Amino acid sequence: MYPPVFYLTSPNKGFMLGTGVGVYVGQVEPQAAPSGGFSSTSLSGTFYDGDSEVVSEAVSAEMIGVEALTFDGSGGLDIVGDYIGGYIGTEVNQEVDQTNSTSLGMVNSNGTFSTNSTYGQINAIMISTSKVVNIDDSTQSNPIIQVIKQ
C-alpha cells in the first residue's frame, strides 16, 4: 500500500485510505495489550464475526460467512458458522451450520499471529483481549478483512 491518509474521528482512531492504485480503505484504532503482552491464552469467551463482500467482486470464488467462535482461554477454539459463495453448476454454494475445532498456535507478544499454518505469513493481529482482525480467505484471489469481536 502507498502511504495511507488518515482521517481521525477521535484520539488514535479513525478511517484510512491508501493513496495508490490498490484503492485501499480501512480503519485504524489503538491497540490495548494485556500486562506482559499477548499470547495464545489472551482470548476467552464467545466472539463473533461476519465477512462483508466487496461489492465490485460480486459473489467470488471463495466463501464468505458469519461465525460464532468460543475461545477456551488456553489457545483452543470452537467455531460454528454459515458460509456462502461460488457456484456449483447454477446454484450458489452454501454450507450451513458448520462446526470446527482448532487452536490459535503461536501468538507473538505484539499480538501478531497466523491463522493458517500453511500460509507461511502473519495474517492476524490482536487489537485487545476482546477484538481481533485477520485476513480471511487469505489463500484466495480476493482476500477479505475480518473483524472478530467479543
Partner 1 sequence: MEGVINDGKGSGLSTPYSGITGTYAAPDPTTGRFTHTTTLNGVTAHHVGYLVSSSQFLELSTDALASDTSVLVGAAQLQSGSLSLTTGSNLVYYATGTESAELGLINVTGSTSYTANYYEDVSGKPESPQTRLVPTPSMLMAGWRPAAQLAPCI
Q: Per-residue contact track with partner 1, 123 to 142, x per CB under 8 A?
A: xxx-x-----xxx-xxxxxx
The one-letter amino acid at 149: K
**Closer of 5 and 92 to partner 1 (Cβ):** 5
Dihedral sign, Cα of residue 23, residue 121, residue 57, residue 82: negative
Nearest to 4 by CA among 20, 14, 12: 20
Candidate residues 82, 122, 130, 150; the one interacting with partner 1 per rule CB under 8 A: 122
Stretch that binds partner 1, among 14-22, 39-47, 76-84, 96-104 (CB under 8 A): 14-22
Nearer to partner 1 (CB atom), residue 40 or residue 114: 114
Letter string b/e over residues 22-37, b meaning 16 or more CB atoms within 10 A of that residue's CB = eeeeeeeeeeeeeeee
- Residue carrying the nine cell digits 480467505: 137
What are the residues binding partner 1 (CB under 8 A)?
Answer: 1-12, 14-31, 33, 54-56, 110-112, 119-125, 127, 133-135, 137-145, 147
